[in-house]
Amino acid sequence: MDMSDERDDVAFLTGSNSSESRLYSKRDLYERGHVAVCSHRQALCITVFVFSSILATAISIAFIRPWNTCDAVVEPHEEEPEYLTPIATNGEEFPWDDVRLPIFIRPISYDLELTPNLTTLEVRGIIKLIFQVTEETDYIVFHSKNISITSKTINEKLKVVKILEYPARDQLYLETDQPMRPGRTYSIRLKFEYILTQSLEGFYLSTYKDNEGNERRLATTHFEPTSARRAFPCFDEPQLKAKFLVTITHDRSLKSFFNMPIKEVSDVRGKKDQIRNEFYESAPMSSYLVAFVVCDFKLIKKRTKSNVTIRVIAPENKISQADFALDQAIKITENYERFFGIDYPLPKQDLIAIPDFAAGAMENWGLITYRETSLLFTPGVSSTKSKQWVATVIAHELAHQWFGNLVTMRWWNDLWLNEGFASWMEYQGVDEVQPDWNMKGQFWSTVVQPALEEDALQSSHPISVPVKDPRDIEGIFDIISYNKGSAIIRMLENFLGEHVLRFGLRLYLEKHKYGNAVTKDLWLALAQATNYTHDVEGMMNTWTLQMGYPLITFTKVANSTSWNISQSRFLYTGKIEGVNTSMPATRFNYTWIVPVKFYTDSGKQYQHLITPKDSNGYSVDLGEDVKWIKGNSDGYGYYRVQYPEQTWNSLIQEFITNHTKFSPSDRAQIIDDAFALSKAGELDYKIPLELSKYLKSERDLVPWTVALRHLADLKDLFGEGSQRSLILQYARKLLEDVYTSLGWEDKGSHNERLLRFLILRSAVDAKLEDATKTAANLYQQIKDGKNISSELQELVYCAGIENGTLQDWESTLAKYHTTQIPSERALLMKALTCTRDTLILQQYLHFTLDKSKVRSQDVRTVLINISSNPSGTALAWRHVRRYWERYYTSFGEGSFTIGLIIKGLTTSFSTQFDLEQVESFFKEKEVGAGKQALTQAVEMIKVNINFRDNYEEKIITWIQEFLL
């Protein structure tokens, strides 16, 4: 799944052996390797034994919890939660006491019939859960949420004697009059019904308007991670794969789509206005990958060289925008078949645009659902940025068809296996079909840098993170799972070699296809690919089982030609008194096995493996007269680099003299390291500022992307009163040459167009005189009915709205509501947040409470963009606090959206007053899956406060001197 709707360019504005044993025992227990459960009959036998011995023993009270008779195992530093007896809805004790399902149930297949009514919103269904058991039992437990079961029967002459529901865990307990035995196949037939909601989860209602303004309805699904249970009773855990046979009955005027093609279409007896579509049975897959859509859409299609039918599906008035997606899907699928050495395993692949969709896209096997802006592209209207976004999201979701769908993580603690890999693979996939886009070059600024930023917090988390409660799953759909996961795969590829990594991936997929795997399985396959010459698992465990990353420090050995290379954990809060807290113990003690590559001014390249054994550092003889060292060649390593001050100064001089001696990724990395080290108090603030002077000569997208993020941070941190004016002057001084060089004419390569947009938008934000005048003139052209380049529309609309009238805002709002081009609607939605009129901004904030004015999927985008507007920061924070319960209820306790809203509104705060407000407000508030994001936001505010206290005056003084 792609968790975001758009990746914004950031312009100037905007342990011990015994403890290890306990840890792994609990992890194995939680992954259901050895589960603390007993069958009903076993429990009865134990009960008889205990009560027959009650006079001889005083420990019978321990049998109060008959479903957990194994010894409890607790992770170090973890408190055992207070035990509460689960109570079913009828008041009885719910017999199953675990958030996970029993391990003795093995689903084989589902036979599902659904009849959704898009007028009444009623859904009626019948399902057969066909399964086996691995031990004798007279009960099973499965999932169901907000579903009314109206009938239940079971085969093999068994009778259902009890069915209990425990909504807190979405579980149903079904007990039979006789035991079920291993070796036999059983089926439970359930009739059920429920109402379609607009929650963007489960089987839900979406709407759109046709060209005549008529509202059209569709029913669609989104099941990841735990919402299949909202659509039909099921065993809703990823390791419980099964085949799915689906039949959907619906109005004859509509179409239905499923993971597989239609096998048979038939009439419905006595209902001439309805039709029945039976689909081919699917391959074994996890329940969260099931998808079905009932709609009136149109489609276009083509076949790949391996005879797979690729279809793009969209509303009739938008199907003309699907050509680019179809072309990319064909080429990327063919490329992936070559890359993985395994043909796409299903007969068809559908890509469907959904008007209301919480994520960017979802990789349902054979029926990928997309937000419209992630799939549809209109030449001449959509920008280069939109085009690249569509291509990368398609590549991401198609990568999942192998890595995630064909082979699926066993449990959500290894979510990164899916998302980290797909986030890495999307750049490989697009680079293959669009080589002139330099996607691999963009990887560092788009993926690695944001991960380094978040992972420098104490409140980060390991890539492979224990998930004890399914309600917490969405909290790890974050930068660590996606960006850091992909960054360490890229680092490993560079260390092992591209061909070795590819061979290892093929071994992994072939061994585990149609099944499940854990992280260790991937490392074993990659080690096999090296002929066991590398301990891949030993190395990569240091990166996946502990959070954070190292700071690699180069130190000159006195009176010698040798340099010492050492590692330490990099933290933004490392030198802030009173902020450091006790962090989770790790057997690696926050040290890593680090492949370190670097070069010197002589041009000589070096490669060394720095391990925790090198506690005193690793010595390297570099010879005489080394002027500078550039660590982490091309930014392949996931770490930061520190040098002596003299080396920093030499690097700065080299940048100013001839920055092209370093690759764009190297330049971006040096900029980022300098600013980050300064923020952490590890480097004099003058170093990044002096380094920034070279930017007047920079003409590459990647370094400018990173530099402008840091300039935006300075503006956000110091942007009050006269400081804001100084920061803007500083930005103008750096931007004016590249601004003049690029101009406003829409020309050049893909990357030049991306850079032009970034620089022009930043120049307008910084109030560069020519830029603001040109933007104003272009906005007037729009008002006069003239067309301007699609590359310029976003920044011109924003500039026009910022300095415009209420009438300008309202006319843009009208266009936002009527355009049928999703990319245009997205840019207009953001442009509306640019106004400086606080009354208008307050009105727009209230629109987010009305789904008819701002779709649920767009609420966080509007809130965060208004918050990034200096006129809207306080308004947005006040508004969200005032209506917190409505937002929380709307998005649900398991939604990653809540966390994104919290971070988006608060992480730029930089005063003690702000910190106290945030901590006070959330002290008594439920935040659900956003609790990790809240902890990170609070920590980031403390970092900001410390940075201002220590450096604000000094940095402002430096800028004043620079401007003289």
Q: In what order do the strands lie in the sheet with 215-222?
A: 202-209, 215-222, 292-295, 255-258
What's the CA gap between 738 and 700, in Å, rounded?
10
| CA–CA distance, 481 with 840 (Å, rounded to integer) | 38
CATH code, domain with 519 = 1.10.390.10
- The residue among 769, 765, 798, 763 whose CA lies nearest residue 782 is 798
Rounded distance between C-alpha atoms, residue 893 and residue 167, angstroms = 14
Contact 699, 707 (CB under 8 A): no
Q: Output the pLDDT for position 615.
A: 72
C-alpha span between 350 and 279 (Å, rounded)? 14
- pLDDT above 70 covers a percentage of the chain that reads 90
What is the pLDDT confidence band of residue 618, given thresholds at 50, 70 and 90? very high
Q: Is the pLDDT of residue 549 over 50?
A: yes
Q: At what angle do helices 859-868 and 884-891 cross, to 10 degrees?
A: 140
Q: Give per-residue pLDDT as tens, 685-704.
A: 999 999 999 999 999 999 99
Q: What is the pLDDT of residues 846-865, one digit of tens each?
A: 999 999 999 999 999 999 99
364 and 450 belong to one structural domain: no
Q: For the chain, report the end-to-end CA distance as a whole number of angstroms.
A: 50
Residue 579 has pLDDT above 80, yes or no: no
Residue 497 lies in a domain: yes
Q: Is the pLDDT of residue 174 over 60?
A: yes
What is the per-residue pLDDT for 581? 61
Run of H or E including 864:
helix 859-868
Confidence at residue 926, expressed as pLDDT on a 0 to 100 scale: 86
Query: Is 246 part of any domain?
Result: yes
Q: Is the pLDDT of residue 962 over 80?
A: yes
Total domains, the chain: 2
The reply to whether omega before 225 is within 30° of 0 (cis) is: yes
Last residue of a domain, one of 402, 435, 454: 402
- Average pLDDT over every residue of 614-634: 91
Q: For residues 361 and 2, is the Cβ–Cβ distance under 8 A?
A: yes
Q: Return the pLDDT at 38.
A: 42
**351 - beta bridge partners?**
312, 368
Confidence label for 575 from pLDDT (cuts 50, 70 and 90): confident
Q: 460 and 352 share a domain?
A: no
Q: Where residue 529 falls among pLDDT bands split at 50, 70, 90?
A: very high
Residue 810 lies in a domain: no
- The helix-helix angle for 873-882 and 838-847 (nearest 10°) equals 40
CB 696, CB 737: distance < 8 Å: yes
If asked whether residues 147 and 269 sit together in one domain, one would say: yes
Report field, pTM of the whole predicted structure over 0.95: no
Residues 335 and 235 in one domain: yes
Query: Is residue 912 a part of any domain in this protein?
Result: no
Are residues 275 and 397 part of one domain?
yes
Pairing label, strands 298-303, 309-314: antiparallel
SS3 805: coil
Rounded distance between C-alpha atoms, residue 280 and residue 263, angstroms: 5
Q: Which residues are catalytic?
A: 397
- Asked if residue 398 and residue 439 are part of one domain, the reply reads no
Q: Provide the 8-state DSSP code for 413.
A: G
Helix (H) or strand (E) holding 487: helix 485-496
Question: pLDDT by residue (tens digit) across 29-41?
Answer: 222 333 333 444 4
Task: Give CA–CA dist 601/810, Å, rounded.
Answer: 58
66 and 47 in contact (C-beta within 8 Å)?
A: yes
| Structural domain range at position 500 | 420-548
Reported as a single tens digit per residue, the pLDDT across 138-167 is 999 999 999 999 999 888 789 999 999 999
**pLDDT one-digit tens code per residue, 909-933:** 999 999 999 999 999 898 888 888 9
C-alpha atoms less than 13 angstroms from C-alpha of 344 in its C-beta half-sphere? 27
Residue in the block written with tokens 């009438």? 807
pLDDT, the chain, mean: 89
Going from the C-alpha of 47 to that of each of 39, 50, 70, 81, 137, the distances in angstroms are 12, 5, 15, 25, 16
Q: Sign of torsion, CA 336 339 343 345?
A: negative
- β-strands 105-116, 243-251: how paired? parallel
Q: What is the pLDDT of residues 48-60, one digit of tens each?
A: 343 444 333 333 3
Joined tokens for residue 594: 């680090």
Residue 475 clears pLDDT 50, i.e. is over it: yes
The 10 Å Cβ neighbour count of residue 284 is 16
Mean pLDDT of 558-562: 91
Q: Is residue 100 part of a domain?
A: no
Do 366 and 442 reside in the same domain of the chain? no
Q: Is beta strand 262-268 parallel, antiparallel or unpaired with respect to 298-303?
A: unpaired
Do 367 and 455 sit in the same domain of this protein? no
